[in-house]
Amino acid sequence: MKNKISEIFRKFLNIFKPTKNKVVRSDDFEQTTYILDDTDKIQNGETIISVKNLEVQFRVRAKVLTAIRKVSVDIKKGETFAVVGESGSGKSVFTKTLVGMLEENGNVSGGQLLYAGVDLAQFVENKDWLKIRGKRISMIFQDPMTSLNPLKRIGFQVAEVIRIHRGLDKKSAKEEAIKLLERVGIKDARLRYRDFPFQYSGGMRQRVVIAIALACKPDILICDEPTTALDVTIQAQILELFKDLKDEFGFTIIFITHDLGVVAEIADRVAVMYAGQILELGTAEDIFYHSQHPYTWALLSSLPQLGRNDEDLFSIAGTPPSLIEDVKGDAFAPRNVHGMEIDYYKDSPLFKISETHYAKTWLLDPRAPKVKRPKIIDEIPERVAAIYTGGDL
Amino acid sequence: MENTLIRDKLTNILKSIFIAIKRFITSPTLIYTIRRILSGLFTLTLILAVVTALIRLIPDIKLYDVRLYSKLAGTSVTAAENYKIVQLFKYGRVDLDGNRIPVIRNILQYIYNALPIPKSIPIRWDTRYTVVLKYWEGFSYLGTSMDTNKLVNEMLAERIGVSFRISISSVFFAYLIGYPFGIAMAKKPGGIIDRLGTVFIVLNYAIPALVFFLLMNKILGNPSGIFGALNLGYFYIAGDWRSLIAPVFSIVFLSVPGIIIWVRRFMVDQLTSDYVKFARSKGLTENRIMYVHVLRNAFVPLIRNVPAAFIFAIIGSYYVEVIWGIPGTGNLLISAIRATTPDVPVIQGLTLIYSAMSMIAFLLGDIVTVWFDPRIRLTHKGDI
Ligand SMILES: Nc1ncnc2c1ncn2[C@@H]1O[C@H](COP(=O)(O)OP(=O)(O)OP(=O)(O)O)[C@@H](O)[C@H]1O
Ligand SMILES: [Mg+2]
């Protein structure tokens, strides 16, 4: 009888169990062994995350939306890797797959996500993800105003992670939390430990969020447009904080933004995303000074910082394609001023330009006509130099 | 030397007590509460005024027995007139000389009578209405029933108990069932529980309440039916809690959907909110997110809704009280309205307590929110 009751009770509680995790096995499924504890052995500059042919799909009513279309990229330990692209290009989806936080209707429909050799795309249970989230890979979301529980005290929210992941008792977790809050620049952290989020300003809340994300010294910190909602001065302070913390903690940053200005501030390497693909990949220098893809040119040309007072600000005509149907050829073709016939029926491969630099455009094919880059792109080095020397453009 | 030390200590303690009291008295939350109570009383007065004025719209001719009047008039016109004046006097429309009393005096009189201050009010006269035989002594006087000649105060006191019991148990069970159900639906929108719940809600809304109550009365009460063994009976029996099962079940059944819809929406909002996403990305387990974060946040809105739900249950139980023959306030209201000459004092008295209870319910809801939600809790300027 008692067993029966407890079983019923357990069944009832199961209602509250985690929703199923939606990771579909890739074709070449092999049981990977956990070697997560070895991540410390990975040297700076070695690959820590290797994404191979990643494809992510969402079910939208009866249709299928392919948000990530065969993305491959290696992320190196200790670098700041920026992902840029227009709204809807798949930046957030890409990072959500890294922590298994796709929405209910989405799944990884192909490819691999190797983190220190473990294929995260094979994770089926929430239990597996709990070993990763917060401890190994932390994530900071766009809106600092709403990322904290409005009805829990700041201190509780920071100490909570420390207690759960590091097993500290209440008292030492509190001390640790206060230290952490002070480290991210909360003044009077001890006094304001028991404040509620609404008593903090947006910038301070973002600092708290950063403190929580760093509480367990993760290997990787993913920042999804962490500064978009903040005003420019606070934004600059937060970026500065990221740089400092990175030097101190030595984590890898994956930084998502649609602001190339921010990228220039912080990134070592940059991936330019469009319609679920990476169109150009390279070091910050490659992308800013030697970009090869017309889409990157367009993005750079629309940067207000680089514009001169006498020029009209450039904007990209047209809209991205719908990802619900199969995209035929190059997704950017209809908006490409340098578009060619072939763009419309055959997608271009990723051409290797140098050891670090890749671009996905038929313009790099030897048979393609030589096109002239926009003047503004050629002038970027001078214009940037002018900004830094304070000269007028 | 020692004395001054003790005195210093004492003054210090007194000082801090004084500061604490001053803080409490000047706390914005307390001031808000008091303001709300005052404005509630004002609204209550307004409601009473409107109801009294509306009652004055009932034509005189409905307030006395016209046949008796004409019969009396056949023998003596003065007798008939006297009968009419006395009747209208009982309703407060004329004084004993037959002069009309203005509405405003009715209103003021009623409010004065209802105010909880000690007073004595004449309630019984000799046949000629010249000598007062009996005074009523007490605080709030709500009049005497036209129908039964009983004090409205007493009638209400007699009848509110059972209505209270029904409402409290209905609200309790409705929440007990609706809350977990709504959460379960929100956990997996579009899942099996969610769909079943939706079907239940739609069907539930499709059944007219009255039909449902009548059906339940017949089905649950039938001694030779499926539920015959439970011996629930068709009618309420004072002191037998089993006879309340059927009516309470019926109310619960009909009020669960509202709770489910509300909880589900609230939960879906919470579960898709940024702070839950961030909590998940921190590596918290789903159970921890649910119990430590989301459900605790649901506490304030839950408490906030309960008093109102309770009041609506009390007010809305006319059908049930009539069908199961429960001698509660709902039943009283209906018989007061249906009487040949409307039982005005009873109607007024019920209006008064219904509105007072609603005011208190909403007030409690708001006060709970103000005291428990840190975002709304009003703080001293220097506190932040
Ligand atoms: N849960 C979902 N269901 C259906 N489609 C989705 C879902 N999440 C994302 N998508 C789609 O995937 C594509 C990529 O979305 P994503 O959020 O990654 O864009 P983004 O690059 O982060 O844009 P933004 O800069 O606006 O944040 C979009 O077309 C979007 O509509
Ligand atoms: Mg996004």
Residue A56 has pLDDT above 90, yes or no: yes
pLDDT value of position B284: 92
Please, which pLDDT band fits residue A18 given cuts at 50, 70 and 90?
Answer: very low
Cα–Cα dist B49/B104, whole Å: 8
What integer pLDDT is reported at residue A13 of this predicted model? 53
C-alpha dihedral (B78, B79, B84, B87), degrees to nearest 10? 140
Residues 6+ apart with CB under 8 A from B143: B113, B151, B152, B344, B345, B346, B348, B349
| A18–B contact, CB cutoff 8 A | yes
Decide: A294 in ligand 1 pocket, CB within 6 A. no
Q: Which residue has the higher pLDDT, B138 or B379?
A: B138
Q: Indicate whether B383 pLDDT > 50.
A: no
Mean pLDDT, residues A53-68 taken together: 92
- The average pLDDT across B58-85 equals 89
- Say yes or no: CB of residue A22 within 6 Å of ligand 1: no
Given strand A106-115, what is the order of strands in its sheet?
A63-76, A47-60, A106-115, A118-119
Q: Which of A299, A310, A290, A308 is nearest to A262 (CA)?
A: A299
Taking an 8 Å cut-off on Cβ atoms, the answer to whether B282 and A141 are in contact is no
Report, as an integer, the average pLDDT of A104-131: 89
Using CA positions, which residue lies closest to atom 16 of ligand 1? A90
In Å, how far is A355's CA from the nearest CA of chain B?
34
> Quick one: average pLDDT of A237-256?
91
Rounded to the nearest angstrom, the minimum Cα separation between B9 and chain A is: 27
* Residue in B184, B278, B285 nearest the CB of A147: B278
Q: Which atom of ligand 1 is nearest the CA belonging to A142?
A: 27
What pLDDT sits at residue B107? 92
CA atoms of A332 and A343, how far apart (whole Å): 8
What pLDDT is attached to residue A10? 60
- Comparing A383 with A138, the larger pLDDT belongs to A138
What's residue A64's pLDDT? 92
Establish if A199 touches chain B: CB-CB under 8 angstroms: yes
Q: Is A323 in the pocket of ligand 1 (CB under 6 A)?
A: yes
Judged by CB atoms closer than 8 Å, whether chains meet at A132 and B283 is answered as yes
Q: Provide the shortest C-alpha distance from residue B23 to chain A (in Å).
A: 20
Residue B380 reports pLDDT greater than 50 = no
pLDDT tens-digit readout, B164-174:
999 999 999 99
CA distances in angstroms from A285 to A265, A268, A289, A300, B184, listed in the order given: 12, 8, 6, 13, 52
Helix (H, G, I), strand (E, B) or coil at A259: coil
Q: Which residue has the higher pLDDT, B380 or A287?
A: A287
| pLDDT tens-digit map of A172-222 | 999 999 999 999 999 999 999 999 999 999 889 999 999 999 988 899 999
Q: What ligand has the least distance to the C-alpha of A88? A: 1
Judged by CB atoms closer than 8 Å, whether chains meet at B290 and A16 is answered as yes
Residue B153: pLDDT band with limits 50, 70, 90: very high
Report, as an integer, the average pLDDT of B268-285: 90
Whether B283 sits inside 8 A of A147 (CB atoms) is no
d(CA B219, CA B131): 57
What tens digit of pLDDT does each residue of B320-340 get? 999 999 999 999 998 898 887
The answer on pLDDT for B67 being more than 70 is: yes
* Residue A1 clears pLDDT 80, i.e. is over it: no
What is the least distance, in Å, from the CA of A228 to any CA of chain B? 15
Q: Give the CB-side neighbour count of residue B319, counting CA atoms within 13 A.
A: 18
| Cβ within 8 Å, pair A134-B284 | yes
pLDDT band, residue A39 (cuts 50/70/90): low
pLDDT band at residue A28, thresholds of 50, 70 and 90? Answer: very low
Residue B362's pLDDT is: 85
Tell me the whole-structure pTM to 2 decimals. Answer: 0.77
Express as a percent the part of chain A with pLDDT over 70. Answer: 88
Residue A74: exposure state from Cβ atoms within 10 A (0-12, 13-18, ≥19):
middle
Q: Does pLDDT of A380 surpass 90?
A: no
Nearest to B286 among A126, A138, A151 (CB): A126
Cα B367 → chain centroid: 17
Ligand 1 in reach of A91 Cβ (< 6 A): yes
Q: What is the mean pLDDT of chain B?
A: 87
CATH architecture classification, B153-372? Orthogonal Bundle (1.10)
Summarised one tens digit per residue, pLDDT across range B294-312 is 988 888 888 888 888 888 8
Say if the Cβ atoms of A135 and B187 lie within 8 Å: no
Tell me the average pLDDT across B242-251: 91
How far does the centroid of ligand 2 lie from the alpha carbon of residue A92, in Å?
4
User: What pLDDT is recorded for position B226?
Assistant: 83
Contact flag B281-A209 (C-beta cutoff 8 Å): no
Identify the pLDDT of residue B309.
85
Residue type, A336: N
What are B102-112's pLDDT values in tens digits? 999 999 999 99
In a mutagenesis test of the A interface, which of B278, B284, B286 is the best target, namely the one with the most A β-carbons within 10 Å? Answer: B278
Instruction: Check residue A4 and give its pLDDT.
Output: 65
Average pLDDT score, chain A:
84
Q: What is the pLDDT of residues A384-393, one digit of tens each?
A: 777 767 555 4
What's the 3-state SS for chain B? CHHHHHHHHHHHHHHHHHHHHHHHHCCHHHHHHHHHHHHHHHHHHHHHHHHHHHHHCCCHHHCCCHHHHHHHHHHCHHHHHHHHHHHHHHCCCECCCCCECCHHHHHHHHHHHHCCCCEEEEEEECCCCCCEEEEEEECCCCCECCCCCCEHHHHHHHHHHHHHHHHHHHHHHHHHHHHHHHHHHHHCCCCHHHHHHHHHHHHHHHCCHHHHHHHHHHHHHCCCCCCHHHCCCCCCCCCCHHHHHHHHHHHHHHHHHHHHHHHHHHHHHHHCCHHHHHHHHCCCCHHHHHHHHHHHHHHHHHHHHHHHHHHHHHHCCHHHHHHCCCCCHHHHHHHHHHCCCCCHHHHHHHHHHHHHHHHHHHHHHHHHHHHHCCCCCCCCHHHC
Residues in chain B: 384
Residue of B nearest to A213 (CA): B282
Mean pLDDT of A283-289: 91
Confidence tier at A377 by pLDDT (50, 70, 90): confident
User: Which chain B residues contact residue A150 at CB under 8 A?
Assistant: 275, 297, 375
Tabulate helix, strand, coil % of chain A (nearest 5).
35, 20, 45
Give alpha helix (H) positions in chain A.
2-14, 91-98, 126-130, 154-166, 170-183, 202-214, 232-249, 260-266, 284-289, 294-301, 375-378, 380-388
Phi and psi (nearest 5°) for B6? -60, -40
pLDDT band at residue A8 using 50, 70 and 90 as cut-offs = low
pLDDT of A256 over the 90 cut: yes
Name the packing angle between helices B28-56 and B103-114 (round to 10°): 130
Tell me which residue of B341, B342, B318, B340 sits closest to B331, measured CA to CA: B318
Q: Give the N- to C-terminal CA distance of chain B in Å, as an integer.
A: 41
B34 near B92, Cβ under 8 Å? no
pLDDT of residue A381: 81
Return the amino acid letter for B208: P
What is the CA(A84)–ligand 1 centre distance, in A?
14
Whole-Å CA distances, A377 to A98, A287, B44, B139: 33, 10, 74, 89
pLDDT at site A2: 56
Model pLDDT for residues B114-142, shown as the tens digit of each residue? 888 899 988 888 887 788 888 888 888 99
Contact status of A132 with chain B (Cβ, < 8 Å): yes
Mean pLDDT in residue range B219-231: 84
> In the prediction, which pLDDT does B379 show?
54
Q: What pLDDT, on the 0 to 100 scale, is given for residue B307?
A: 83
Distance of alpha carbon A17 from alpha carbon A15, whole angstroms: 6
Q: Any idea which of A47-61, A239-253, A323-337, B280-294 has the lowest mean pLDDT?
A: A323-337
Q: Tell me the mean pLDDT in the region B237-263.
A: 90
Among A202, A211, A106, smallest CA distance to A156 is for A211
Mean pLDDT of B207-231: 87
User: Residue A147's pLDDT band (boundaries 50, 70, 90)?
Assistant: very high
Facing residue for A150 by CB, picked from B184, B283, B375 = B375
- The domain ranges of chain B are 2-26, 61-144, 153-372
pLDDT at A233: 87
pLDDT at residue B356 is higher than 80: yes
CB contact at 8 A, A48 and A77: yes
Between these two residues, B77 and A306, which has the higher pLDDT value? B77
In testing the pocket of ligand 1, which one of A57, A58, A102 has its CB within 8 Å of the most ligand atoms?
A: A58
**Paired strand residues for A208:** none
User: How would residue A12 be classed by pLDDT, with cut points 50, 70 and 90?
Assistant: low
pLDDT band at B187 (very low <50, low <70, confident <90, very high): confident
Amino acid at A287: I
d(CA B283, CA B289): 10
Report the relative pairing of strands A137-140 and A220-224 from DSSP bridges: parallel
DSSP string, A72-85: EEEEETT-EEEEEE
Nearest to A99 by CA among A5, A213, A262: A213
